[in-house]
Amino acid sequence: DAGVTQSPTHLIKTRGQQVTLRCSPKSGHDTVSWYQQALGQGPQFIFQYYEEEERQRGNFPDRFSGHQFPNYSSELNVNALLLGDSALYLCASSSPQGGYGYTFGSGTRLTVV
Amino acid sequence: AQSVTQPDIHITVSEGASLELRCNYSYGATPYLFWYVQSPGQGLQLLLKYFSGDTLVQGIKGFEAEFKRSQSSFNLRKPSVHWSDAAEYFCAVGESSSNTGKLIFGQGTTLQVKP
């Protein structure tokens, strides 16, 4: 049973560019959350998607946007990249019946130069 | 505001020694509490969680944690550490009003294990 799959695993972008990260949730999960983990820090909640809508949002600027597809997969988009956006981006999937049963992916390491 | 504090950024223990990682939280109601472990280049793996009931919870890999409401703490313990336990450990609090709410993480504690 595949867990959470994220792609790509690594990428390098230039300041000002735009990036799209992808996440496929664990089978049976319909809720996807995204977290940003800067080097040496704990993950910070970006937003959560359920039924193709953003349900919760953390303290991140509008440059961060997302989308959830009918098959529950999700994308995280970041526009106008800043050096400070360099981080590990983690996707976590869950289901309302799972009782905080989050499954995390291995993440996408984004480096902005 | 909800917050989690892990006072120890880095801890080194000898293999076979006991371990305690500290976690303090700030939350208005009874919190949902979690401990996760992260190996280099990997995502987060859940070690254990506390929602209610018995304040001593058992997790995977021989870990346990004790919820102490009076001290707002949820410390992680292991009686005998193995070299494979070297990793980053994160304490987190979840909103108890929802079972799919966001998690708020501490800064993490890096565990180094000496042979």
Report the alpha-carbon distance of residue B70 to residue B82 in Å, rounded: 31
Which among A100, A103, A104 is the top mutation candidate for probing chain B, defined by the most B β-carbons within 10 Å of its own β-carbon?
Answer: A100
Report the alpha-carbon distance of residue B57 to residue B59 in Å, rounded: 7
Question: Quick one: what percent of chain B has pLDDT higher than 90?
Answer: 77
Report the alpha-carbon distance of residue B103 to residue A100 in Å, rounded: 9
Which residues of chain A neighbour B45 with C-beta distances below 8 Å? 104
Report the alpha-carbon distance of residue B114 to residue A76 in Å, rounded: 39
The residues with which A77 forms a beta bridge, in sequence order, are: A20, A65
State residue A93 phi and psi, 5-degree precision.
-115, 155
Q: Find, among A35, A104, A88, A44, the residue nearest to A66 by Cα.
A: A35
Q: Find, among B1, B6, B2, B3, the residue nearest to B91 by Cα.
A: B6
A45 contacts B102? CB cut-off 8 A: yes
Q: What is the mean pLDDT of residues B5-30?
A: 94
Tell me the average pLDDT of chain A: 94
Which is higher by pLDDT, A64 or B100? Answer: A64
Q: How confident is the model at residue B30 (pLDDT cuts 50, 70, 90)?
A: confident
Q: What is the mean pLDDT of residues B97-109?
A: 84
- At B63, which amino acid appears? F
- Of the candidates A50, A100, A105, the beta carbon closest to that of B43 is on A105
Which is higher by pLDDT, A113 or B101? Answer: A113
Which residues of chain A neighbour B99 with C-beta distances below 8 Å? 96, 98-100
Q: What is the pLDDT of residue B29?
A: 77
**Predicted confidence (pLDDT) per residue in B37-87, tens digit:** 999 878 899 999 998 888 999 999 999 999 999 999 999 999 999 999 999
Q: Which of A74-78, A94-98, B110-114 has the lowest mean pLDDT?
A: A94-98
**Predicted confidence (pLDDT) per residue in B75-98, tens digit:** 999 999 999 999 999 999 987 666
Chain B residue nearest residue A42, CA to CA: B107
Q: What is the pLDDT of residue A19?
A: 98
Chain B residue nearest residue A98, CA to CA: B99
Q: What is the pLDDT of residue B97?
A: 63
Q: What is the pLDDT of residue A1?
A: 57
Q: What is the pLDDT of residue B42?
A: 83
Q: Which residues, other chains included, contact B99 with Cβ-Cβ below 8 Å and sequence gap of 6+?
A: A96, A98, A99, A100, B32
